[in-house]
Structure 1
């Protein structure tokens, strides 16, 4: 009986360890276990369509109140979740061990994040955004107003319900199916920090929009106006962690998903807004169901050979090969592009070659080793909008010709050969004439 108890405890410990070490996998890069923090558990019902779509795609959602004292992102040095959704815009302080530093550390470890704010966004949410290059309007009473592109409704209102349709043109971010209907947006706008090159606007306001308090008259020009206002933005960190910032929590709500929409000044009336399609597509991107690349079978060899050498000689003809695949959400598919380049690098690129593809994931580049010896690197630095970046490096030395590898007679030296032999002949003739002439 004692042995059975020990075995049971051992199995339970192993199960706990496996649960704790569940994390981002290169074999299946899609996030699976996601922590959802909300201000009110009623959001599970009011935003159920969005959450159900995630669960239908295989995600495990763990809902907690944002002030829950038991919140923790990691335990025993292992992360408990692959992704984090913050649908708690009014939270002034998270519960447990969670704070701004913990969230940034979560992202720095390669995990993903969705943050939704609204008109009552707290300083905590604003600080998280600022750390990621997102600057919400400093006026905490300001929301986005648009008298030109508002959503037509039975009550005229203050034009804070916007019908936005200025999407980023990127299939990897928003899918290949075009979003026809405008997206309903009600919330706050933000600008992008120009010093941060990793931030992109996914949904922008129209040129007639501005950020202000709708309940008071403007006494000075608004700090944010026109197309410079971003409604939804994304960040892809250098470690390939992904973040989505939305200025509207209602954008993900059932009400906005199901609402008909008609943009002011347009005769087109849609029975359903584009919110559900937009939210679904952007969630596929942020949780690595799309746009995640991996490189395998990186190799190189001399032309006509198959074995990888330990050293090259100057002027050798070589081939560099790599296979690149993209995750489709369920399997790895060949990645097809015409802009993958390889560098043969020593202090600076001596060779920069665009690789050709067989449209089945294999990329090949052939070139001649430069007439310079030293320690080189094969380098592939691939960065494309919306895709995870690839950084490959492989070191290889290059030697000069050995003394017995040179040609016996070098064609370029024929003039010197001729000069030597002609000098010898002239000296022989001069000696003969000098010795035997009277």
Structure 2
């Protein structure tokens, strides 16, 4: 007679396939990144002063763990597994992190493919500056320096030192800033940084105007400032080669409730906006940083001979073949077909023998047909797709290409007719020569 324990075991075995199918269907709708974020703060008061930004993250389904930067129990991983999927570093003045977290731990966190938002200000410590430098941006070396602009500043009731910038020099990228244009200027008060123009992994998202400069606003300039004009980046983003994303801002106030809810009027302009562009700006850029937009995946990579469906183990020279792949983009809630006209395929051996742009059916399927080159060896189907703001796609598949077998050639090859003619004419000439030599007196 079966015991209750045996009955429970049989029931679990019977339900296992159904649970596996349900889990697979649920995973198909999950995003490309996890939803748990660690928020490190200098002071827990920042949780209240920046609650609107944190609330927008929570409304989008993120689970925020607020901790002080010097918490002695702080840790990013445990038992070889990372505890968080992203990091929000709003602790500009912290000289060191608590627990097992340090600069190398943060960089290893990014190297493992995780994302980060870093906000600094004029009190930025060497630790925060060092992390930013490793992410491709260099803050002004002068610890007292701030971005000053005597032309493109925000109008206030009190005429200040013009460190409250009304920035509107934004990157032209819908994937980073969203398809809806940011009309109002973005309020910024903080420090500027420089981006190496040869570093193609770092992009300036919000740049200073040509009239801006970086210096101590409380003292007179004794020498020309090191950072001037549009070379100053106010907010930059970096997408690493492992597709980890980082946002670096020189202003912590950029994310504050005061800046998100404040109106703005740019100096020299009569138009006043009821809301600055900060709320839209930080929301859209955070969507990009945490892979809610601009994340691509490739599935169902296939290749076969024309007229067939099975994938062969090798091809023969001059075979006609078809190659296809499906590419999708994460929209924030589900995977949608990615539509573009610049996805290319390489048929590669030491160098590309075939390089063609694939056609799309506008539903995510990209395909191409071509003839295998008249060269045998080990080739690769290679797709390397890099586009501004999108995660990179790079995948290859190796396939050998063989020559014709001896019984696969045509009986008479058209290009060999001159050789056939020479052979038969040589035999005929030898016959005539022999006949004349033997029988002619």
TM-score of the aligned structures, taking structure 1 as reference length: 0.93
Give deviations 1:306-362, integer Å, cap 9, x for gaps: 110001111111111110000001100000011111111111111111111111101
Find the residue that maps to 1:141 and give its secondary structure: coil
Describe the SS at the equivalent of 1:245: strand
How far apart, CA to CA, are the structure 2 residues paired with 1:104 and 1:321?
Answer: 37
Corresponding residue of 2:58: 55
Q: Deviations over 1:360-410 (max 9, x none)?
A: 101111111111111111111111111001110100011111111111111
Q: Report the Cα distance in structure 2 between the residues aligned to 1:58 and 1:295, rounded to whole angstroms.
A: 25
Q: Distance in 1 between matches of 2:416 and 2:69?
A: 81
Verify the 8 A CA contact 1:30 1:329 in the aligned structure 2.
Answer: no
Report the counterpart of residue 178 of structure 2 in structure 1.
175
Question: CA offset at residue 433 of structure 1?
Answer: 3.9
Alignment length, in residue pairs? 417
Q: What's the offset of the Cα at 1:31?
A: 3.4
Residue of structure 1 aligned with 2:385, choices 377, 382, 385: 382
- 1:133 alignment counterpart: 136
| In structure 2, distance between residues paired with 1:284 and 1:227 | 26
Contact 1:174 1:278 (8 Å CA) reproduced: yes
Tell me if structure 1 keeps the 8 A contact 2:329–2:337: yes
Q: Indicate yes or no: 2:240 matched with 1:215.
A: no
**Separation (CA, whole Å) in 1 of partners of 2:34 and 2:43:** 24
- 1:37 corresponds to: 40
Deviations 1:218-237 (CA, angstroms, capped at 9, x unpaired)? 01000000000000000000
| SS class of match (2:423) | helix
CA deviation after TM superposition for structure 1 residue 426, in Å: 2.7
CA distance in 2, matches of 1:81, 1:411: 68
- Following TM superposition, by how much is the alpha carbon of 1:432 offset from its aligned partner in structure 2, in angstroms? 3.5
Q: Distance in 2 between matches of 1:411 and 1:234?
A: 61
Question: Is the 8 Å Cα contact of residues 294 and 329 (structure 2) preserved in structure 1?
Answer: yes
- Alpha-carbon contact 2:34-2:85 (below 8 Å) kept: yes
Give the whole-Å Cα distance in 1 for the aligned partners of 2:60 and 2:77: 24
* Deviations, residues 162-186 of structure 1 (Å, cap 9, x unaligned): 0000000000000000000000000
How do 1:281-430 and structure 2 match up within 5 A?
281-430=284-433
Return the offset for 1:195: 4.9
Q: Once superposed, what is the RMSD of the aligned Cα atoms?
A: 1.6
SS at match of 2:280: helix
Which of the residues 70, 75, 98 maps onto 2:73?
70
SS in 2 for 1:290: coil
- What do residues 88-129 of structure 1 show as CA deviations (whole Å, max 9, x unaligned)? 101011111110000000000000000000111111100000
Partner SS, residue 129 of structure 2: helix
1:154 CA drift (Å): 1.0
Alpha-carbon distance between aligned partners in 2 of 1:181 and 1:194, rounded to the nearest angstrom: 28
CA distance in 2, matches of 1:436, 1:31: 98
Post-superposition offset of 1:197: 2.3
List gaps (5 residues or longer) in structure 1. 5-24
- For 2:427 and 2:326, the matched residues in 1 are separated by 61
Asked whether 1:143 is paired with 2:111, we answer no
Matched position secondary structure for 2:417: helix
Asked if 1 retains the 8 angstrom alpha-carbon contact of 2:115 and 2:290, the reply is yes
Q: More deviation in 283-292 or 259-268?
A: 259-268
Name the structure 2 match of 1:232: 235
Could you tell me how far apart the structure 1 residues matched to 2:436 and 2:106 are? 98
Query: Does the CA contact (< 8 Å) of 2:42 and 2:68 recur in 1?
Result: yes
Q: Is 1:104 matched with 2:102?
A: no
1:15 aligned residue: none
2:34 & 2:261 partners in 1: Cα distance?
Answer: 27
Distance 1:420 1:63 in 2: 89
CA distance in 2, matches of 1:234, 1:172: 13
State how far apart, in whole Å, the 1-side matches of 2:217 and 2:297 are.
Answer: 48
Task: String of CA shifts for 1:2-31, please: whole Å, max 9, x gaps.
Answer: xx9xxxxxxxxxxxxxxxxxxxx8852133
1:255 lines up with 2:267 in the alignment:
no
1:284 match: secondary structure: helix
TM-score by length of 2: 0.92
Alignment match, 1:10: none
Matched-pair contact (CA < 8 Å) for 2:122–2:145: yes
Any conservation in 1 of the 2:31–2:292 contact (CA below 8 Å)? no
Q: Match for residue 200 of structure 1?
A: 203
List alignment gaps of at least 5 residues for structure 2. Answer: 6-26
In the alignment, structure 1 residue 271 sits paired with structure 2 residue 263: no
Partners of 1:179 and 1:405 lie apart in 2 by 65
Alpha-carbon distance in structure 2 between the residues aligned to 1:145 and 1:31: 39
Contact 1:31 / 1:288 at 8 angstroms: preserved in 2?
no
CA distance in 2, matches of 1:316, 1:74: 52
